[in-house]
Amino acid sequence: MMNSKTISKTGKVLFILAAVITFLGFLAGNVLAAEEVQAAAQAASGQLREFGLAIGAGLGLGLAAAFGALSQGKAVSSAMEGLSRNPQASDKMFLPLILGLVFIESLVIYTLVIAFFLQGKI
């Protein structure tokens, strides 16, 4: 039979063993939690990047279209004002006006292409 000293010694060993297992469990839990936190941070970073790309594409295209339309309106307005002052210059003003409108519109189209590329990265 076991005496009280043997039971006490066995209890101490079991207590120490339980304490070590508990400590290792907490340590492993912290390590696993750190990996999960790091994975969550990477996922959030990826989502923030995608959000930035979407906002950049949308705002870039919207601003390009808005300012392109304003500049085309200003170009046509100036051309019409010049034609009203000198109607004989219509032949000489036509080609530069059309070229100017084409160049303005090409900038908006380039912005559309860039927006498509940005959307492809999302």
Q: How many CB atoms lie within 10 A of CB 115?
A: 20
- The DSSP output letter for 87 is G
Element (H, E) at 91: helix 90-120
Question: For residue 47, what pLDDT band results from cuts at 50, 70 and 90?
Answer: confident
Class of domain 4-120: mainly alpha
DSSP secondary structure letter of residue 2? -
- 67-111 pLDDT, tens per residue? 888 888 988 998 889 888 988 888 888 888 888 889 888 888 888
DSSP string, 26-76: HHHHHHHHHHHHHHHHHHHHHHHHHHHHHHHHHHHHHHHHHHHHHHHHHHH
pTM of the model as a whole: 0.57
